[in-house]
Structure formats: structure tokens, C-alpha cells
Amino acid sequence: MNLHEFQGKELFAKFGLPVSKNKVISSADEAVIACRDIGGSKWVIKAQVHAGGRGKAGGVKLINTPEEAINFANHWLGKRLVTYQTDAEGQLVSSILIEECTDIAEELYLSAVVDRGTQRIVFIGSSEGGVNIEEVAEKTPEKIIYEPIDPLTGPLPFQARKISKVLGLNPEQSKEFVKMLPQLTELFIEHDLALLEINPLVITQGGKLHCLDAKITIDSNALYRQPLIQEMHDPSQEDPKESEAAANDLSYVSLDGNIGCMVNGAGLAMGTMDTIKFFGGAPANFLDVGGTATQERVSKAFKIILADPEVKVVLVNIFGGIVRCDLIAEGILAAIEEVGVSIPVVVRLEGNNAELGSKILEKSNAEIVSLNDLEEASKKAVELSK
């Protein structure tokens, strides 16, 4: 699950990390009071969406009067911000962050992730901040440091000094960073983060370290033990079909093609999409109905797939493990009946009682093609999609 910048900064502040004085508003009426509360005569105003590249898209602005804040809020609230990281529709702006303006001397990069290779939390630092870090990694890898944290010892001061050197910090700032690194690690562990990114981490004109941005992703598996984070969930930032699927324990990603796919297991779902493509078709979605394809789940899955008007044919590929295929077949028929499916459905059932399952499907009046062979089923779906 992703957090907004203002939520990330709330967490930063909670763990003693330096962030700007700020206010979050959700209507233009609050803009003047927010500016006044923060004080000063210059502010930065930022649209809050779950995507990077906001600055270039006009979602971040330096302002000199509270009136400009009102104008910005009136312009963006309720609209969708399109950046290079969003799709063409963009993300809804439902809140805006106003913060004290920071005078920047230098922009640095700092992040932490769970690294699969070292199986550690790894901090990544670079003197090149505020830019596309992937380019830095490719062109000047020597400007990036990867520092893994041992779960037994936690971050040690020497590691903070190693990172400081690559960041180009002076001795005073390095001391600050020796304090910051355990705070960041504590935040990461206490709230089950998957990603923490500060881009840029800046050095102010006064020579202090300061977190100018905050990007945080939480490990979804750990949400059950993160009540504070659960409250930060913002469904407006997600694709409504994907959210609905998730609410029903289905995993769904919408794609551009016209063959709706319903598969059990994420790996087999990807494999099925690949097979469709291999035979010249285009999958309309990735959909994993999970290990137990019950009638209820199959019905929900049909509803979600058929909500996409591009879908011309549905390919159901179920490898019945422990669950018997005849039960799945009955579930599919009941679901088709319930949902009122009017396009052709190709079903491939494999596993326990697969033949019995196929017989049940063949007897029905619905427009169902039942094929046990994955290759044949995929070819048939592709043919029907043309």
C-alpha cells in the first residue's frame, strides 16, 4: 500500500526526522488559514497523488501569497493529475500539502528497500538527488552507495559515516546523519515498510539536512498489525476495478486486449496471458481467482471481467488441485447464469475429475467451449476474439 507525501512526512516527524512545517487542506477555504498558521511569506504548494513527476506536471508550485494557494486549490482539487508515472487518466487530487519554503543548497538522494539479494534492509544513497535515480545508477554507478543493515546489530554509526561520504556531507552534517539513520530504520521496521524514499534529501542554505519529499510503501502482508497505516489508506488513488477485486480477494490488473482471463494462481495467470499472446491474441486482464475457485468467487470474477466493454471472449483456465473440477464446472455454470454472460466462454479445466467437469459444461445451454488442452483452449479463445 502506498502513502501520500503528507502521510509520509507525518511519520517522518513522529520519528524525529527533519521535515518542513506544513498543513494539509482538502478545500480552498482552508488555504488562507493554512498559510497563516505556517507563517512566513513564501510557501510550496503540492498536489497529493500516489505518483512521482508531479513538479513537471504542474502539481507543485512556489507561491508568495495566500491568494495563490486558493487559486491552486481551486484549480487542482477534484481534478486528475497526469504525470509520466501515471496512466493517461492520471490520479485524483483530493488533498493538497502547503509547506514552509526551504532554501536549498544541495539535493541528495536517499532510500531504503527490502533487498531480495542480500535479504536485508538496504539503504541507497547518492549525491545526485532530485533527478531520475535510475539514470544515475546506469551512467555513474560510482555515485551510489548500497548499505545493507544487519537485523541483529541494526544500523551502526560507521555505516552512517560510509553513506555520508558518498552523499558528500561535511563533518557536522555527517553527525546529523548518524542520528538520522537509526530513526529511519526504526520507522522502516516499526511500520513494516517495503520502500522509503527521500528524493530529494536536501542540505539547506543553513547547512542542515532536511527531508523535502517522502515516498513510502507499506508491505501489504503486514497491514493487519498497522492500525495507524490502515487509516491512511486512500482508495481514490486506485483503479476502482482493481480495488473491487481486492475487496473480494481477487487479484486483478486491467490490460489493453479483448480476451478476458480467469485463472487460479498468479503464475498460471501470467502463463495463460503469455500463451494467448503467443497464439496472436491479446489478454484484457490478469485475474487470479485464488486457490479455491468457488461459485461466489467465479461470479465476482465474471462481473469484474465483463465490466470491461472491450472483452469479446472469456478464457477460464483452472487447474483444479484439491478442489474437484466437477464442482468448479457447476460453479462456472451457476455464475454464468447469475451474471448473465452473453459472450462466448472458453473453459479449460484440468486436475481432479476434469472429464466429469467438461461433461457438465457441455450439457449446458450457455455458449461454452470446453477444452482440456491449454494450447487448444488458448487458440480457440484467440480465434473467437478476432
Partner 1 sequence: MSILVNKDTRLLVQGFTGSQATLHSEQSIEYGTNIVGGVTPGKGGQMHLGAPVFNSVHDAVEAVQPNASIIFVPAPFCKDSILEAADAGIKLIICITEGVPTLDMLIVKKRIDELGITLIGPNCPGVITPGEAKLGIMPGNIHMTGSVGIISRSGTLTYEAVKQTTDLGLGQSTCVGIGGDPIPGTSFIDVLKLFEADDQTKVIVMVGEIGGTAEEEAAEYIRDHVSKPVISYIAGQTAPAGKRMGHAGAIIAGGKGTAADKIKKLQECGVHIADNLPQIGAKVKEVVG
Active site residues: 109, 197
Interface with partner 1, residue 227, by CB under 8 A: no
Query: How far apart are the two ends of the chain, measured CA to CA in Å?
Result: 37
Q: Which stretch binds partner 1 (CB under 8 A): 53-61, 64-72, 187-195, 200-208?
A: 187-195
Nearest to partner 1 of 77, 144 (CB atom)? 144
Give the x-and-dash track for 36-75 against partner 1 (CB under 8 A): --------------x-x-----------------------
Interface residue with partner 1, options 13, 286, 312, 383 (CB under 8 A): 286
Using CB under 8 A as the binding rule, whether residue 370 contacts partner 1 is answered as no
Strand partners, 23: 98
Rounded Cα–Cα distance for residues 281 and 381 (Å): 8
- Alpha carbon 237 to its chain's center: 9
Q: Tell me how far, at minimum, the Cβ of 66 lies from partner 1, in Å.
A: 32
Spell 93-114 as b/e; 16+ CB within 10 A means b. Answer: bbbbbbbbbbeeebbbbbbbbe
- 246 binding partner 1? (CB under 8 A): no
Among 20, 370, 378, 385, binds partner 1 (CB under 8 A): 378
The x, y and z cell numbers of residue 220, run together, are 501489504
Question: Is residue 144 within the footprint of partner 1 (CB under 8 A)?
Answer: yes
C-alpha cell at 178: 548518524
C-alpha to C-alpha distance for 11 and 195, rounded to whole angstroms: 13
192 to 221: interface string for partner 1, x by CB under 8 A: x-xx-x-x---------------x-x-x-x
Only one of the segments 56-64, 168-176, 276-284, 327-335 lies at the binding site for partner 1 (rule: CB under 8 A); that segment is 276-284
CA distance to 288, 366, 371, 380, per residue, from 361 (Å): 21, 9, 10, 16
Task: Indicate whether 138 belongs to the interface with partner 1 (CB under 8 A).
Answer: yes
Residue for grid cell 508550485 = 61
Please spell the DSSP secondary structure of 157-171, one letter per residue. Answer: HHHHHHHHHHHT--H
Nearest residue to 265 via CA among 322, 328, 319, 221:
319
| Binding status of residue 321 toward partner 1 by CB under 8 A | yes
Q: Which of 28, 77, 101, 270 binds partner 1 (CB under 8 A)?
A: 270
CA-angle at 41, arms to 61 and 207, nearest 5°: 80
How many residues in the chain? 386
Which residue of 152, 153, 206, 386 would you call a contact of partner 1, by CB under 8 A?
152
Contact 112, 155 (CB under 8 A): no
Query: Under the criterion CB under 8 A, does residue 322 sit at the interface with partner 1?
Result: yes
Binding site for partner 1 (CB under 8 A): 2, 50, 52, 85, 87, 111-117, 119-122, 124, 132-134, 137-138, 144, 146, 151-152, 189, 192, 194-195, 197, 199, 215, 217, 219, 221-222, 224-225, 253, 255, 263-268, 270-278, 283, 286, 291, 319-322, 350-352, 373-375, 378
